Each structure stands twice: as structure tokens, then as C-alpha cells.
């Protein structure tokens, strides 16, 4: 089976697919040339991230296409239901970035509580002339321990973020209308 990983793929992913007998091509095909490439090269699988779109027109014009995969969470660049209704396997990797996003959120909580962004911007340019004022401004900060974090949306990212917050000694209030019993206080 021939796979076009049009928006790139991790080397380990490519190796794993090739070990299973797939031929994996990672050369990017321009969106306007996608239909011709799929048909002319005999790709049965197209893997995308966010740059390439696979809409109804592509699916209709590529009868040999069997599977469309999205490396990432959202699938707004693929006509998912249309593909599934027409016999294509359409999938994504919903947990791929959940932990990374939760870590980024947690890092931003620390950055905000300690004014690291603002201090990084101002100390190099004003540190010599306004050191005492800046030291007083940036030396304070706020501890996260004991603070309350509100998490709206308690899917994977929200749950991982809550775990990090709890690990920092924060209180967590979570709410999600789509997750049963997801309005709680931790």
C-alpha cells in the first residue's frame, strides 16, 4: 500500500509504516496538484496535518483512495463524514498533542504568575536605568499553590492540565457539558 504523508511525518512513524510493508512518500504535493498525484502515483492513503485539505472534490476524483489520516486533533481540513459515508477510513490522532498542550498551559501559568515574559522584555532594555523599579516589580510574583484554576472543557487537555495544577497545590474547578459529572471541585 502506498502512503502520501503530505504534511510530513515523524521518522519513527515512517519507519513503523515501512516495517509493516507500506511505501511512504514524504515529498509535499501542492494542494492544486493533489488529485493528480494521488491518481498518478497510486496513493491509497493520504496522511495530513493542517496544511493539506482533503475535501469532497478530492475524494470524488480519487477512486483508489482508501484512507485519510490527520496527524493531530482537529479534522476541519477533511470532509470527514462525507469520506466515511463513501467507504473511506478517516481518522485522526486525538491524544497526540494533549499532554504537550497541558504542559504549555501550565508553563504559561508559571510565566504569568512570575511576570517572566514582561521581565524578559524589559530587563535587557531598561535594566540598567530602571533596575530598582523593575526588581521590585518582578521580584514579587504570585505563588500558584492555593490558587484556584477554572478548567472549561474537561477532555484530555483539561484533565492533564488539572493534574498539573493539582500537583502544584492548586485547587481545580472543572466544567464540561459534554462529559458526564464533569462539574467538580478538586
- For the whole model, what pTM was predicted? 0.67
Over residues 95-119, the pLDDT tens digits come to 888 999 999 999 999 999 988 888 8
In this prediction, residue 182 carries a pLDDT of 60
Domain finish residue from 60, 92, 124: 92
**The domain that contains 55 carries what CATH number?**
3.40.50.720
What are the C-alpha distances in Å from 154 to residues 20, 75, 161, 178, 183? 36, 19, 9, 8, 9
Regions of the chain short of the pLDDT cut 70: 181-186
Q: Are residues 104 and 88 in the same domain?
A: no
In this prediction, residue 171 carries a pLDDT of 97
In this prediction, residue 186 carries a pLDDT of 63
Of 35, 13, 40, the C-alpha closest to 26 is 13
Over residues 37-51, the pLDDT tens digits come to 999 999 999 999 999
Q: Are residues 170 and 134 in the same domain?
A: yes
CA angle 165, 168, 171 (to 5 degrees): 55
H or E element at residue 91:
strand 89-92
In this prediction, residue 114 carries a pLDDT of 85
Q: Are residues 13 and 77 in the same domain?
A: yes
Amino acid at each position: 500500500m502506498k502512503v502520501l504523508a503530505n504534511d510530513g511525518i515523524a521518522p519513527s512513524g515512517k519507519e513503523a509504516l515501512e516495517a509493516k510493508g507500506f511505501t511512504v512518500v514524504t515529498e509535499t504535493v501542492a494542494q492544486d496538484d493533489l488529485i493528480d498525484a494521488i491518481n498518478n502515483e497510486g496513493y491509497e492513503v493520504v496522511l495530513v496535518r493542517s496544511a493539506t485539505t482533503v475535501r469532497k472534490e478530492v475524494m470524488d476524483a480519487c477512486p483508489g483512495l482508501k484512507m485519510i489520516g490527520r496527524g493531530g486533533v482537529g479534522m476541519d481540513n477533511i470532509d470527514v463524514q462525507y469520506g466515511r459515508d463513501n467507504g473511506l477510513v478517516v481518522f485522526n490522532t486525538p491524544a497526540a498533542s494533549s499532554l504537550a498542550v497541558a504542559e504549555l498551559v501550565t508553563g504559561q501559568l508559571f510565566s504569568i504568575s512570575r511576570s517572566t515574559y514582561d521581565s524578559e522584555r524589559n530587563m535587557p532594555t531598561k535594566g540598567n536605568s530602571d533596575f530598582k523599579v523593575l526588581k521590585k516589580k518582578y521580584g514579587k510574583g504570585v505563588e500558584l499553590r492555593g490558587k484556584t484554576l477554572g478548567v472549561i472543557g474537561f477532555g484530555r487537555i483539561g484533565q492533564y492540565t488539572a493534574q498539573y495544577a493539582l500537583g502544584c497545590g492548586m485547587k481545580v474547578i472543572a466544567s464540561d457539558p459534554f462529559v458526564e459529572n464533569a462539574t467538580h471541585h478538586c
